[in-house]
Amino acid sequence: MPVLDFINFPADLKQRTVAELETLAIEIRDTILQVTSKNGGHLSSNLGIVELTIALHYAFNTPHDKIIWDVSHQCYAHKILTGRKNLIYTLRQNDGCLGFTSRSESEYDVFGAGHAGTAISAALGIAAARDRLKTDEKVIAVVGDASFSNGLSLEALNNVATCTKNLIIILNDNKMSISGNVGSLTNHLNSLIQKRTYNNFRKYFKKHLLRIPRVGQRIYDLVNRIEDGIKSMIVPGAFFENLGLRYIGPVDGHNIAGLVDTFSKIKEFDTPVLLHILTGKGKGYKPAEMYPDKYHGLGKFDPSTGEVIKKSEQSKSFSEAFGHSAVLLAEKHSNVVAITAAMCSGTGLNQFSRQFPDRFFDVGINEGHGMVFAAGLAVNGLRPIYAVYATFLQRAMSSLYHDICLQNLPVIICADRTGIVDDGPTHHGIYDLSYLRALPNLSIIYPSTENEMNLFLDMAYKAASPVVIKYPKASLIKYPFENNPVEYSWGKSITLKEGKDISIWTTGIEFSTALEVSHILSAHNIDAEIVNCIFIKPFDSDKLISTASTKLIVTVEDNSLIGGLASIVDEILINCKNCGTMHFGWPDKIIPHGTVKGIKSREGITPETIAEKILKKIKSK
């Protein structure tokens, strides 16, 4: 019988031998592989952290002891071990298991996450509250190496020593960048540092040395410098030691017995500790071990081959179209450069990075820095294209205003994955339009086709001010009249379909929803006009006012109704007498995870529901 059958909660781990725990790790990996192959999700990072997760829940008393996962996309093993081994099969499905930690899902999920760099700050706050309340729980932050370069992580590290004397930070290093430091001398020193006798002697030595008149402090400082010097030559932890953390590592992150032993020792320390652990991304699954980035986050795939299962005749995605357009623009203009925040592949910039390596910059998971960096490039004559996920763009809001809009710098910001996505509320891109609209000097464009992506990127290049181009995580679709010429003018909308009874205004690919609505309405003798708001800012106010005088205005958008297209229309028509409006978009609440289709159905944003409500409105007149 599988070991996993006997494991429902962390307490069950403590009844198992190390050999059984090692078998359990294999079984958990098989479960993760099975689930992600059917539902999609984050694979490489979850395969790499299985032993660490088992050891944490074995050595610590969760949920009394608090584990905070940075980003938390690597939480699948954690969920399996904390009462959700059956729920995990509904990963990322409607009303199923969220792919990130969530306080509403389990008491073991101490802190919700989805973005990078939050774990140390959150853990530090929890630890400081514990100290004030005089409780005894251990607090552990688990942070990946990429998140350690995030500004929030560095700010929190700088604050640790002044806030608490008892915090464990685990650096999960899965890049193996310093594997050469793992040797007998390092292992011996780490073993010595962890021993209680060594730490007790340090306290005793310091206490009595400082009692020596006049020279005690100087002798202690000298000995301390010698100790630090020896450690820094052998162990790469001087940076953390200077911040007031005891550094231990690197430690093998796949050795359960070794991890449990290390945890058992460091949880007795009365000082903040940074434990450096080495893990292999994608461990146990050859395709993910060979290409960890490819299997970081993906859709359904064949676990026997690793091949991603594509939808039949799947067309090019908006991200791919953007990447191609960016290359074309760079080929025409030598001052074009591209920036990404650790999302080169996801944003479609792989081709650009290969073709123009000296014009491509990856700033890591530091969206705010990327924004100011782009401003600096623009000040000195370059034309930066900054590709960033919409959900992460909100992390750079201050920099966008202060460093780009305020100085009116010609930076092109390409916001990928706008709208609802299947990763859940931490990743929905449904709020960016609402806050971007308020920024002066900023133009906002919604391309709906590949041709428009090419055209608007070129128009944005020619603009003398900042421009945001927004597009979803979706495949490209075509206008019903794709072969007919369309005239585009800055700040003007386009009419996709004429209609005499009502006018449906949309953004992005929601024009396809509007077309379906119009087909349903036509069966009821309602002739609907469809207007695509390519430019959100500046907005085609004249056309809206003219249309609203004779027709009911209906808006359909993949954005929050507050601050989105609905708000724009109401603001413009506020003084328009006898103007009727209806709005369809995301309400003022947290939109849960699920498939995009399932979420829209649940919230009533489908062509059928929209058409039904429009008919009801018309009949009530």
Question: Is 395 a catalytic site residue?
Answer: yes
Question: Is 367 a catalytic site residue?
Answer: yes
Which long-range contacts (C-beta less than 8 Å, at least 24 apart) are formed by 457-463? 457/322, 457/325, 457/326, 457/329, 457/385, 457/412, 457/414, 458/329, 459/488, 459/490, 460/412, 461/329, 461/333, 461/336, 461/383, 461/412, 463/410
* Lookup: tokens for 267: 């949880």
Task: Write down the H helix ranges in 549-621.
Answer: 565-572, 596-602, 607-619
> In sequence order, what are the residues at sequence separation of 6 or more whose Cβ sits closer than 8 angstroms to the Cβ of residue 58?
10, 13, 14, 21, 256, 260
* Lookup: tokens for 435: 């806050």
* Lookup: tokens for 104: 């509403």
Question: Is 316 a catalytic site residue?
Answer: no
* 461 in Cβ contact with 383 (< 8 Å): yes
* 553 in Cβ contact with 569 (< 8 Å): yes
Kindly give the interhelix angle for 318-332 and 450-462, rounded to the nearest 10 degrees. Answer: 40
Query: Of 79, 138, 281, 283, which residue is the catalytic one?
Result: 281
- For 52-93, the DSSP string reads HHHHHHHHS-TTTSEEEESS-TT-HHHHHHTT-TTGGGGTTS
Cα–Cα distance measured from residue 437 to residue 458, given in angstroms and rounded to the nearest whole number: 22
Query: Of 367, 450, 529, 557, which residue is the catalytic one?
Result: 367
158, with CB counted inside 10 A (0-12, 13-18, 19+), is exposed
Query: Of 395, 437, 470, 473, which residue is the catalytic one?
Result: 395
Cα–Cα distance measured from residue 59 to residue 263, given in angstroms and rounded to the nearest whole number: 6
Cα–Cα distance measured from residue 99 to residue 101, given in angstroms and rounded to the nearest whole number: 7
Catalytic residues, by residue number, are 281, 367, 395
